[in-house]
Structure 1
Amino acid sequence: MTTVAPTTATFDSLDPATGEVVGTHPIHDADHVNAVVERARIEASWWESLGFKGRKERLVRWQKYVVQHLDELVELVQRENGKPAGDAALEITLAIDHLHWAAGHAEKVLKRRSVAPGLIMANQAASVAYRPLGVVAVIGPWNYPVFTPMGSIAYALAAGNAVVFKPSEHTPGIGEWLARSFLEAIGRPVLQVVTGFGETGGALCAAGVGKVAFTGSPGTARRVMAACAETLTPVLMEAGGKDAMIVDEDADLDAAAEAAIWGAAANAGQTCAGVERVYVHERVYDDFLRQLTDQAKGLAAEPGGQLGPITMPSQIDIIRRHIDDAIARGGRAVVGGPESVGERYVQPTVLVDVPDDSTAITEETFGPTVTVTKVRDMDEAVAKANSTTYALGSTVFGKARAQEIAERLRAGMTSINAVIAFAGVPSLPFGGIGESGFGRIHGPDGLKEFTYAHAITRQRFKPALAMTTFGRTEKDEQRAGKLVNALYGRGNKKKKA
């Protein structure tokens, strides 16, 4: 059995609300990462050999373990990530639901199934199955340190892979907890964790895994892709968003305002598929803004408040820069403003009259801020919503035209009359396009994302026309031509002039 190499360098994870040390963790170097991946290959072979039913039984066992130790994980998420306990519990609950779905649906989605061979190849029995890649590397974020990486981990495991998880350096203890809980529940390290900074992630990309699933910023995504390109390692990228909400004139404004502030400020605004831009029909703009303002003023970012601290300290400067730029360009803060940005906490901020080229409109803020823009009609709303290089999530509030508007949005996901609902539905794919990345987690697409398609044909009887042989005659070719014309050429003859 492979022995994982020791490591000596360490780093601390800090409570973002207080700056206190939550835990000390190893900085794993390339030798250690390679040893972990080597061990994962051994575990992957055993894990695949269990078959769908064997894996399902063990994943359900792990699911039950997490449920039984929910309070323990909630406390760790609260300390290491900073979010309120209720938000942490919600995140973990959704992750458990996805784990349950993946375990229960993997066989139906991935097992070998027959497909029609077509008329020309009617003598062949054709089938396809989706087989595991072996070892999948997951590089996770700090904003949803359980739910987001589990969207890859759970589906990769259900598909038959072993997983090596590199959590964010801001939330390494949560990653270690997940790997430890799996080991305690199952008894084999099919899920392992490595901790550290960018160098550790780079080593994981170079370790020859079957695929890398990454969640983070577009800039880091490019570096991960470049590292993976050296070994032709395929990647799945979820790289953030600048998600828009559209409010039509017939929308339930109270519900829309509540959804907008939740999408903008929940998790202190640190949500890749949250709401950062709102486009409101001019006929209801004033009423909507009044309700949004009232609700935003009732929130507080503070210890014990509805909003936790900003987890990554460097994000504070980005949030401040976006607010300052919006106001410098003629925008107004009707709630909050520059004074809302503190050392660890940021109060909710609602910005209006912000120019389209302001960074508050064009760049991902990742804080509890939102811009609200009046539009003359839904054509303008759709055009503005789509005028971004990001394309992750989106939201529409309305009645008569809501579905039509949703269909026109350039986004990987859209919720109608709710916010971020698509993320909670296990059977739906989650992901974006453009600067928001590519590939999908969750649902059947998420299971297939961590497999490769294996096609098999089996000759049932000799073909009437044997074409894949050097014994083929000119007469055979003429007969084949007549057959193709009879099957596919009818109705395509040119009409006489």
Structure 2
Amino acid sequence: MNLEATFDKCDPKTGEVIAKYKNFSLDEVFAQVNLAQTASIRWQEFGFTARKRTLLKWASYITKNQKEIAALVATECGKPLSDASLEVSIAIDHIAWAAKHAEEIMQKQNRPAGLLMFNMKAQVQRSPLGVVGVIGPWNYPIFTPMGSIAYALAAGNTVVFKPSEFTPGVGKWLADSFAQIAPFENIFATVTGLPDTGRALTQSKINKLSFTGSTKTAKKVAESCAQSMIPVVLECGGKDPVIVAADADIKLAAEYTLWSAMANAGQSCIGAERVYVVESVADQFIEEISEMAKKIQAGKDYGPATMPSQLNVIQSHLDDAKAKGAKFLLGGTESVKGAYVEPVIMLDVPEDSTAMTQETFGPTIAINKVSNTDEAIKLSNASSYGLAAAVFSKRDGEKIASKLACGMVSINSVFLFAAVASVPFGGVKDSGYGRIHGAEGLLEYTYARTVVKTRFKIPLRFTTFKRTRFSEKILATLIKRLHGRKK
């Protein structure tokens, strides 16, 4: 028996092996992608209506079996069942939205040909790419990859999905569930495995790759894909700020900020990690959030670190913050206990500490006072990341949001942009590029084809060796009249 043919999936709470999964080799990944390539032609020809019907059947199947998949998500991640159920619900909604809107968003567009080409018809068509590879994360193993899977499928692509080795069962369940309603094979397949399996996907004959994970790994993925000119969508980490203005609803801001930072054990790329609160309301905010945080319990309100190695990162950030003079309002450097991390709230954290510059991905939060929202905006934008942010203000939320260098902002709320299927999800700077969700998410898995057609002949011909001086003179005169005048 080849010992490398399978790998162990361990319980994040206990470390015990709970299942074994197939470790797909490079050749096996290549073979699956080739099958998907063949199936992609048929899936494209299937048409929007039939694809819509198929995806809605899938959404219905997952809905009917929601308890089963939610339990699996909870087991593999270690998160509370209620959190897993919420994740599954939002994922189902994204499948339905993509299915229902793909045809409208991908329809042919007639474009004006302009005065020079007045006899031409100009059109832009959208076509699916072929096969989309998706490498998913472990923190939201159904919601996050579904933002690529559902939209790529709805756009007419086939998909080969490589789930995280920490949540392989969820990935396999998704492929198995799709097979229950699929009109034919190889439209959507899952290849489980360790990092080499994901690397093989980047080296295969996919037409685009969608990756979610750390910025460090994303750069390696992009480099590998570049060897074959495979375009990528990269959804990486964040160091997401919260800005609390002087006119904010302080209790609401504290409640939502705490949940954003601590839910899912802080393992959310769009979770709050830094808070900039205007000093006139800072004491009230700090008092509110600390009282609420004292009631949060690791193991009850959130689970363990799903990826054990993240515990070392969290510990190093806490140690660095303490060494640089940060104050601990709740918890401290001793808060990392086994597989769990107890809630940590830090105050007056130096901006150059790793707790402020690097993604912690744990149930910790740093709160710093600022003189005004302009200072908060400046500090928020100083990060190398630019994924999401939250703003709490009764009057100036939109104004503040417009000045933030990030892909998504919640005003007087947190996370909710992820649940709105019609808007794009993604970041800038070290948080990646490309978008999932919404119209942008559908178009991300297509390419534009320009088609121009002569509607009627005119005596002026420019693209020929028989072009006359008269034609050239007419062209020069038109250009001068159109663009030569000063505005």
Alignment-derived partner of residue 115 in structure 1: 111
| 8 Å contact kept, 2:34–2:205 | no
Alignment-derived partner of residue 201 in structure 2: 204
**CA distance in structure 1 between the aligned counterparts of 2:352 and 2:3, rounded to whole angstroms:** 48
Greater CA drift, 123-132 or 457-466: 457-466
**CA distance in structure 2 between the aligned counterparts of 1:118 and 1:99, rounded to whole angstroms:** 39
| 8 Å contact kept, 2:235–2:431 | yes
Which 4+ stretches in 1 moved above 3 angstroms?
none
Deviations 1:219-275 (A, max 9, x none): 111111111111111111011100000000000000000111011001110000110
Greater CA drift, 75-84 or 479-488: 479-488
- Is 1:346 the counterpart of 2:321? The answer is no
Question: 2:302 aligns to what SS in structure 1?
Answer: coil
Consecutive unaligned residues of structure 1, counting only runs of 5 or more, are 1-5, 493-497
Q: Post-superposition shift, 1:20?
A: 2.6
Greater CA drift, 361-370 or 477-486: 477-486
**CA distance in structure 2 between the aligned counterparts of 1:238 and 1:22, rounded to whole angstroms:** 29
| 8 Å contact kept, 2:242–2:275 | yes
Q: 1:277 aligns with which of 274, 277, 292?
A: 274
Q: 2:291 aligns with which of 294, 316, 324?
A: 294
Q: Post-superposition shift, 1:491?
A: 3.5
**CA distance in structure 2 between the aligned counterparts of 1:397 and 1:465, rounded to whole angstroms:** 61
**CA distance in structure 2 between the aligned counterparts of 1:464 and 1:194, rounded to whole angstroms:** 59
Aligned residues: 485
- Is 1:126 the counterpart of 2:117? The answer is no
Q: Structure 1 pair 464/274, CA: closer, same or farther in 2 (3 Å)?
A: farther
Q: 2:17 aligns with which of 4, 7, 21?
A: 21
Letter in 2 for 1:331: A
Q: 2:101 aligns with which of 77, 102, 105?
A: 105
- Is 1:78 the counterpart of 2:74? The answer is yes
TM-score (norm 2): 0.98
Among the aligned pairs, what percent are the same residue? 49
Alignment-derived partner of residue 377 in structure 2: 382
| 8 Å contact kept, 1:138–1:212 | yes
Letter in 2 for 1:484: I
**CA distance in structure 2 between the aligned counterparts of 1:362 and 1:490, rounded to whole angstroms:** 51
Deviations 1:139-182 (A, max 9, x none): 00000000000000000000000000000000011000000000
Deviations 1:58-88 (A, max 9, x none): 0000010000100000110011111100000
Q: Post-superposition shift, 1:469?
A: 1.3
Letter in 1 for 2:77: N
Counterparts of residues 302-317 of structure 1 (less than 5 Å): 302=299, 305-317=300-312
- Is 1:267 the counterpart of 2:259? The answer is no
Consecutive unaligned residues of structure 2, counting only runs of 5 or more, are none
Greater CA drift, 249-258 or 38-47: 38-47
Letter in 2 for 1:246: I
Letter in 2 for 1:136: V
Q: For the aligned residues, what is the CA RMSD? A: 1.2
**CA distance in structure 1 between the aligned counterparts of 2:58 and 2:480, rounded to whole angstroms:** 58
Letter in 1 for 2:432: G
Alignment-derived partner of residue 481 in structure 2: 486
Letter in 1 for 2:426: G
**CA distance in structure 2 between the aligned counterparts of 1:19 and 1:47, rounded to whole angstroms:** 41
Q: Post-superposition shift, 1:122?
A: 1.4
Q: Post-superposition shift, 1:8?
A: 6.3
Alignment-derived partner of residue 45 in structure 2: 49
Alignment-derived partner of residue 365 in structure 2: 370
Q: Post-superposition shift, 1:21?
A: 2.3
Q: 1:477 aligns with which of 457, 472, 481?
A: 472
Letter in 2 for 1:47: W
Question: 2:337 aligns to what SS in structure 1?
Answer: coil
Question: 2:251 aligns to what SS in structure 1?
Answer: helix
Question: 1:444 aligns to what SS in structure 2?
Answer: helix
Letter in 2 for 1:41: Q
Q: Post-superposition shift, 1:489?
A: 2.5
**CA distance in structure 1 between the aligned counterparts of 2:458 and 2:175, rounded to whole angstroms:** 53
Q: Post-superposition shift, 1:464?
A: 4.6
Letter in 1 for 2:72: L
Greater CA drift, 346-355 or 479-488: 479-488
Letter in 2 for 1:169: E
Q: Post-superposition shift, 1:209?
A: 0.6
Alignment-derived partner of residue 211 in structure 2: 214
| 8 Å contact kept, 1:429–1:440 | yes
**CA distance in structure 2 between the aligned counterparts of 1:81 and 1:37, rounded to whole angstroms:** 28
Q: 1:417 aligns with which of 412, 416, 427?
A: 412
